Every structure is written in C-alpha cells, then in structure tokens.
Structure 1
Amino acid sequence: MTFRLFPGSRRRGASNTSTPRRSALRGAAVLSVAALALTACGGSSEAESSGGGDGDVTLRFVWWGSDARHQKTQEMIDVFEEANPNINIEPEYGDWSGYWDKLATQTAAGDTPDIMQMDLMYIREYAENGVLLDLSDVDMSEIPENLQDAGATDEGIWGIPHGVTAYSVYANKTIFDEAGVELPDDTTWTWEDFKDKAIELDEASDAYGLTNLQATMTFELWLRQKGKQFVTEEGQLGWEPADAEEYYDYYKSLLDDGALPQASVVAEDQLPALDQTLTARNQTGMATWWSTQLSAVQAASGDDFELLRMPSMTGNSDDAELWYKTSMFFSAYSGTDHPEEAKQFIDFLINSPEAAEIAGTERGMLANQASVEHIREQLTDTEKQVADYIFDIEDELGDTVPIPPEGSSDFQNIHLRYDQEVLFGRLSPAQAAEQMHAEMEAAIQ
C-alpha cells in the first residue's frame, strides 16, 4: 500500500521552550522514563512475542469509548483482518476515565501499544517526548486541508484526524417559531446582533434568550477575530489581560442587558449532564455547542434545532475565524516493530469505505469528506445537517488552531471559575482578566 501526504498540508512549529512544564499526563513520572523505554524496547513485548515465524504481524490497538464504539471498532478490525490475513489486531479498550492513566503506565513500562486513539490535549506531550510515530506518509487527501495538520508540529505528523466538529450556535427553531421571532442570518450577524436576538427572544417567549458562553472556545474565537491566538505554536499564551477584559466586558453586558438569565442559572448550566442542560430541556432559545453534539441534544430535547455560525466582529462570516476541531486522532508508537503495518491499519480506519459504513458517526462526523458522502444516505436528518454545516463553513475557516501545551487541560475549569466571578459581580472584568491570565500562564509552566 502506498501512503502519501496531501500536497497542500502544512506543518506547525514545535515548542522550543526549555522551561520545565507540569505534565498533562496523570501517571507520575511517566515520560521521564519513556525515552528509556523507547531505547530498551523495539516494540510492544506482547506484539513481538505473539507474532509467529510465518510472517504474521500482531498489532495492539487501544481506544476509549462506549459499548457501541467497542462493538463497531471490533467489526472494523474483523473486516481489516479478513482483507489482511497476515495482520492480527489485538484490541484493548476502556472508558475515558481510566484510559490515560493506563496508557501512561504502559508507556513508562516500555509496553506502549502499537496503535492508539489519541486526544488533542495529550498529543503534544507524547509527540515531544518521542513516543509517537511520524505519520506524514499516511494519505490525508480527503481530509480538509485546514484539519490535516491538527496533530502536527514542525517535526512531523503525530496523529491522523478521524472525526471533525466545529463551534456553532444551536438555535431552538421550535422556540423561535412559537415566539414569532425570525432566525438570524448567520452569515451577517455580529456579536451585538447576537445579544439583540437573545434579548428579543427572551422577551417574546417563556424561554431564556441565551445561556452561558462555553469556555474556553468562545474566548478563543473572540481572540481569533481580533487577530490573536489563545495559545501560540510555541505553546505559550497568545493574549494579554486587556484582551480578556474586553471579552468579559461583553460577557457581563449580556447579563446586564437581559440576554442571559441570572448568574445562578448560568452557573448551574455550565457543566451538567447533557440531558440536564437548559438546551436539552428547551429552556433557552440559543446556546453555543460543538456541532457534532446536535444529535444527542436534539434526541434529549425533542424540539427542532438549526445550526448557526458563530457571530463575527464585522458582520461577515468570512471573518468569523471558525476552525475545524478533530474529535480524536489515531496515532502509532514510534517504537513499534511494524510501522508500515501500523500505518496500513490507520489508513484503513481513516480512508476505507467499509470502515466508514461500520463506524458511521460514532466517533463524530467523519473527517474524510469522501467517506461522509459515501455514507450520507445512512445518516439521520440531524447528522446530515451537521455534515452540511461542516462543509458549508470550509471556505470561511481561519488558520488551524495550534496543538495546546501541556497543562492546558486545566484551562476550562480556570476559565469557568472566572466567568462566575464576573457574572456574580465578585470581580470586575479587569480583575478577572488579570488573575485568569496569571493562573493559565502558571498552569503551562
């Protein structure tokens, strides 16, 4: 099988800081011994011992997810093994809560799996510590160019995107229709229009006009529209307290002007179970969500929803600076005994029509656009709406978001806490901005 890199793909700069950083991995001292593991072991011990002398290859493949994901993944493995009888895939899976501790422990012990499901929060640390295989020659020609380097640094490509999502506004069309309020034109609305529409809906219906702005995604979008980055390619904060102060001035104006409910309601809606959100309970007309969560929200709600672009500063959707986010990657171990076979299996997971038919959207809307078209008829109406949204915004996207630095897994909780401080009036926007910047900067040092 031939692997090739799409000619238009780009690489991002790797971090070159020498400042010690707190590990995002939760296994103690995991990657301090990972380099020793790489030199001490040429590949996973199980894979090496289970391969016979007849040319058979065994690859360990690990992932997290639900029972439905486990079943669908095993079906994909069966199809791959039938087409490649000399390659055996040993599955290892579990849920999110224990996945990273287990993977970190395996890495420290020199027992890293050959192929792994990888998340954006952890890919930089594994890559920078030499654990991941460069996948630059895996075919990504059917993946949008804006997403191809989502798992890349200047040194190589460390993860191939499997699913794709984009930030969006969920508009409860049922609430809009019952209130007699027109849906906004999402190609021309500004942040002030966003506020005005929420106020109009709040006054015309029994629902709130808007609920909380998700952290940290909304602030990141705000910064991008101002020509700045939330984090830089070098893994540092790309903004100053004054930028956050401006954002918090706007956020507080939503509350003061009646676009948001009282602060206690906003706080309760920050991190509940999906079916307990104001959106799923049909108590808000608009809310910010990742696009691929629409099926679950609509199923819990029972109402009809419309996916809308996020507002822009200028009223031109070309300036909205939206981006594609991968729901997860597939990565491989740099010390595997069978790098070509590992790439072959990842290529199958990403590019095979048979794999797409089995997986559907279980891992999110497929990043491979040809695969989405291949399975379009089996998508639900809601999934088709998500696919259309992903395709419709492609020509309007901004630059790819850099891989987040180690320590950034704390950013959301930090941000949510300061959101509450501002909305409850315990800190001014300027105070919250200064303290949030300092705390986030400390988290990545």
Structure 2
Amino acid sequence: MATQRRVIRWTAGLAAAGLLLSACGAEADNGGGGDGDVVLSFVWWGSDARHQNTAEIIDAFEEAHPGITIDPTYGEWDGYWDTLATRTAAGDSPDIIQMDELYLREYADRGALLDLSDVDVSQFEDTVVDSGRTEGGLHGITIGINAATLLANPDLFEQAGVEMPDDTTWTWDDYQQIALELSENLDGAWGSGNFDETLGFQTWARQHGAHLSNEEGQLGFEPEVAESYFQFFLDMMHQGATPPASAMSEDQAVSPDQSMTTTGQVAMRPWWSNQAVALTQSSGADLELLRMPSITGNAQDAAPWYKSSMFLSASAGTEHPEEVQLFINFFVNSEEAARIDMAERGMPPNAEIREMITEELEGPQLKVAEYIEALAQDLGPAEPVPAMGGSMFPDILYRYHDEVLFERMSPADAAEAMHREMEAEIR
C-alpha cells in the first residue's frame, strides 16, 4: 500500500505542478523530516514502469533504513534538463539525480556533483565504472548497462532467402553486401535502415582509433573519420541497400514503436540493446541481436563497449553525502532492488547481480542479457564522458548526416562543418 500511495502522491503532484522537478522537497533542503529523519530528494525521468519500480525500490530502502526518507519527483525526458539546470543554478539541486552521459560532464566540471568514491563498485567491470568518471572523480554510478546492437528481423531474412550472418566475423563490406542482397529480394523493405546516433558514429570512430569525445573533454576525432562514415552511408543509399534519404530522415523523427524496424520495412538497424525488448514486442518479430561489424572481421576489433543507460549522481551541495551514497549503493548492489527493477534500466552493472537476474529472465529480456554477457570477453575501452556541450552532438550529427544523404553537402564538406560546429559547442 505504501508504494500505491506514493505513486498516487507523485502523479498528483506532477499534474498540479505541470512541470518536472517542481518544488522538490523543502524538507530536504534543511535536512529534516519532523522526527529528525534525514530526507533526501531524488529526481528521475522514465516510463510508468520505471516509476513504479523506483517507488518499490524506495520503499524497500526506507524499510531497511528507517532513519532516511526519500522525497521523490519524476517525469519525462522533455523538460527534465532545463528544470534541473534552473534548480542547480539556484542552489536547490536535488540530493540524488538520475543522470545521462550527455550531461554528466556539464555538471561535474562545474563542481555541481559529489565524488561517489565511497559507493561499492567492486563487482563492476572497469569500463562500466570509468564511464562515470571524469578527471575530477567518480561523479556517476551506472545503474544499467547497454551495448550497441544491430537488430535483425529473421522474417525478412527468410523472405529474401538470405542467411543470417556470423556476427563474430563479419566486416562492414559484408554488412553492405548483405543489406544490398536483402533489398534486392524484398518487396517494400530494405536491408538496412539509418543508424541511431550517436551510437553509429561512436562505433565507427572507435574502430578507427578515435572517440566522439576524448578523456580531456575535447573532440576525439578528426574530420576524416566523419567523412568516411558519411561516405559509407551515401554509397549504401546509392546502391539501394537503404531507403531513400526522405524515408530515413522521417524514420529518425518517429518514436521507436513507429520506426521502420517495428513496421518491418528494414531488415537491420542499430539500436541500444535495452530497446530490443520493446521493439521486439512492437514488431511482432523475434528480432535477433547481432554484434556490430568490424573493419577486419575480428570480434575484438569491433570495439564493443558497455554504455551506461543512465547514472545515479549526487549534488555536491548535499548535506547528507553518506546517506546519499548509502542509497545509491543499495540501488546498484542489493538483490532486493535488482529483483524489482530487473532489466528496465538495462542490465544491472554488478556482475554477480546480473548473473542472478539473468537466471530469472526469459524471451527478449533473456536475449538481451545473453548478448551483454557474450560481449564481455571482447570489450574495448570505456567511451569517454562526452565533452561539455556534448548534449548537442546528436542533433548536430543527425543534421549533417541528412545534408549528405540529401546530397546538399559532400561527405568531406559535411565532416569539416560538423567538426567545427561541435568544437564551437564545447565549453
């Protein structure tokens, strides 16, 4: 009943406020809850399922720690970051913050986030820990891990009479040829869709010895890397291996459950692994999770990495740093929290917890867990935390990708212009 009352209270609060993160817990600011309890404000975005799961996790934590109360506020992605920025600038930052990698450095480099070095990450892969680390310390604790995957529709492969590839040995040339063969043998569908960003470019850059951002918070690639990326997709489109530019551009503007993957119009398209469950359900097809191709055909040269689906961070100004880290530790390391959230935020970052959860999964969720586990032996280095200003990189990348596909700019010109614009965004 506590969870039900909590969900009703949160929903009513949001409806009344009309804004995310409105007036989140005055008690948290003075550190008191009328009976001397510590009150911690906690904000996040997500679906209804995530809100319900988080409510149950909070109830479990409060039961285990009766002297600590969590004051929650949640909502959707839209509006979250504007309101969080406003609150932080006003010195009213929430104690605990669900954080995205695109914004982690924005807050960490301004001294707005607490160093979370007291949280136990001994059962995390090093690359998972490092994804939340900047030069200033550990400012984000991963609460779910994803990986880039090519979702393949076996029904379309069968219709086209094309065999599913060996994804541990295939190259980008193989991908191009398979996509073309699929397109030539399908009616009203294509072999490859457009690439989700920044997933696609990050994968390409890593395989060319570069990154979207480097460890110092600057751009981590040269224009030549972007030029080769743009040229690859322009060639694919000219060959007929992908839909025309207008269809691919439109596909980027719709929600995943309306995408060409779910409508059965493309046989292969990259997504993050945690999206595979919903996309499988929406498409009605038993989608396969394939590894990304590599330049050489060597699985390690594909340079896979575990991406943090999101982090938990904390305000540097919190009056209760020990209690904040106690809650984060509970969230990522307790079996109780893991059994509630399961794979909703991605697979658990704690390897022991992940193994336990995997035994309880089935269907698409089990496929995701097995895919994540299969990549472990071939993981490349962690992807550096995006540069300050990096929250604009996906929009910039999509825009110049469109310029190339609509042939308004050459791959070389688009790459140079994109590089300059991204550099100008870095603060």
Does the pair score TM above 0.5? Answer: yes
Name the structure 1 match of 2:83.
102
- CA–CA distance in 1 between the matches of 2:180 and 2:340? 44
Distance 2:137 2:149 in 1: 30
Aligned length: 402
The equivalent of 2:193 in structure 1 is 211
Aligned equivalents of 1:276, 1:48: Cα separation in 2: 42
- Say yes or no: does 1:177 pair with 2:158: yes
1:59 corresponds to which of 8, 32, 40: 40
Distance 2:195 2:28 in 1: 46
Shift of 1:52: 5.8
Between the aligned partners of 1:54 and 1:166, the Cα distance in structure 2 is: 45
* Structure 2 match to 1:113: 94
The residue aligned with 2:248 is: 266
1:135 maps to: 116
SS in 2 for 1:331: strand
Once structures 1 and 2 are overlaid, which stretch shifts more, 272-281 or 55-64? 55-64
* 2:274 is the alignment partner of 1:292: yes
Which of 316, 340, 343 is equivalent to 1:358? 340
Instruction: Give the partner amino acid of 1:189.
Output: W
Q: SS of the residue aligned with 2:70?
A: strand
CA distance in 2, matches of 1:99, 1:425: 35
1:336 to partner: Cα distance: 1.6
Change (3 A) 1:297 1:54: closer
Superposition pairs of residues 223-234 of structure 1, within 5 angstroms: 223-234=205-216
Which deviates the most, 369-378 or 257-266? 369-378
Instruction: Classify the secondary structure of the residue corresponding to 2:44.
Output: strand
The one of 263, 284, 304 equivalent to 1:281 is 263
Q: Distance in 2 between matches of 1:248 and 1:208?
A: 19
Further displaced range: 199-208 or 384-393: 199-208
CA deviation profile, 1:55-91 (whole Å, cap 9, x unmatched):
5322111111222222211111111111111111111
Structure 2 match to 1:83: 64
- Greater shift after overlay, 334-343 or 184-193? 334-343
What is the CA-CA distance between 1:295 and the residue it aligns to? 0.7
1:150 aligns with 2:131: yes
Alpha-carbon distance in structure 2 between the residues aligned to 1:172 and 1:215: 20
Q: Which amino acid aligns with 1:73?
A: T
Distance in 1, matches of 2:29 and 2:77, equals 27
- Is this contact kept in 2: 1:64–1:96, CA < 8 A? yes
The 1:238–1:377 alpha-carbon spacing in structure 2 relative to 1, beyond 3 Å, is closer
Note the C-alpha offset of 1:436: 1.4
The amino acid that maps onto 2:163 is E
Partner of 2:13: none
User: Does the aligned pair in 2 maintain the 1:45–1:111 contact within 8 Å?
Assistant: no
Gaps of 5+ in 1: 1-43
Distance 1:52 1:437 in 2: 50
Q: Determine if the alignment matches structure 1 residue 334 to structure 2 residue 316.
A: yes
Q: Cα gap change, 1:136/1:254 in structure 2, threshold over 3 Å: closer, same or farther?
A: same
Partner Cα distance (1:74, 1:215) in 2: 31
Alignment of 1:238-249 (within 5 A): 238-249=220-231
* TM score, norm. by length of structure 1: 0.87
Deviations 1:21-43 (A, max 9, x none): xxxxxxxxxxxxxxxxxxxxxxx
- Residue 433 of structure 1 is matched in structure 2 by 415
- Structure 1 residue matching 2:79: 3-state secondary structure: helix
Structure 2 CA distance for partners of 1:46 and 1:245, relative to 1, 3 Å = same
**Percent of aligned pairs with the same amino acid:** 53
Q: How many angstroms apart in 1 are the aligned matches of 2:382 and 2:119?
A: 19
Tell me which of 388, 391, 396 is aligned to 1:409. Answer: 391
How many angstroms does 1:414 deviate by? 1.5
Structure 1 pair 50–444 and aligned structure 2 pair: CA distance change class (3 A): closer
> Which residue in the other structure is 2:50 paired with?
69
Counterpart AA for 1:95: E
Distance 2:333 2:38 in 1: 21
Which amino acid is the alignment partner of residue 245 of structure 2?
A: A
| Corresponding residue of 1:399 | 381
User: Aligned residue for 1:316?
Assistant: 298
**Distance in 2, Cα, partners of 1:111 & 1:425:** 47
1:220 to 202, 205, 209: 202
Match of residue 12 from structure 2: none
What is the distance in 1 between the residues matched to 2:261 and 2:133?
35
Shift of 1:354: 0.4
Structure 1 runs (4+) deviating above 4 angstroms are 52-55
Higher mean alpha-carbon deviation, 79-88 vs 187-196, is at 79-88
**1:191 aligned residue:** 172
Worse-superposed segment, 51-60 or 87-96:
51-60
Letter in structure 1 aligned against 2:310: M
TM-score (norm 2): 0.90
SS in 1 for 2:235: helix
CA contact (8 A) 2:338 2:357 kept: yes
The 2-side partners of 1:222 and 1:52 are apart by 51
Q: Which amino acid aligns with 1:312?
A: S
Against the structure 1 CA distance between its residues 225 and 52, is the aligned structure 2 distance closer, same or farther, given a 3 Å change threshold? closer
Deviation at 1:397, TM superposition (A): 1.5
Per-residue displacement from partner, 1:395-419 (whole Å, max 9, x unpaired)? Answer: 2111111111122222122211221
What does 1:300-311 correspond to in 2, within 5 Å?
A: 300-311=282-293
Structure 2 gaps, min length 5 = 1-24
Which residue identity does 2:263 align to in structure 1? R
What secondary structure, in the 3-state scheme, does the structure 1 residue paired with 2:119 have? coil
Distance 1:271 1:386 in 2: 25
- Richer in helix (by share): 2
1:343: Cα distance to partner? Answer: 0.7
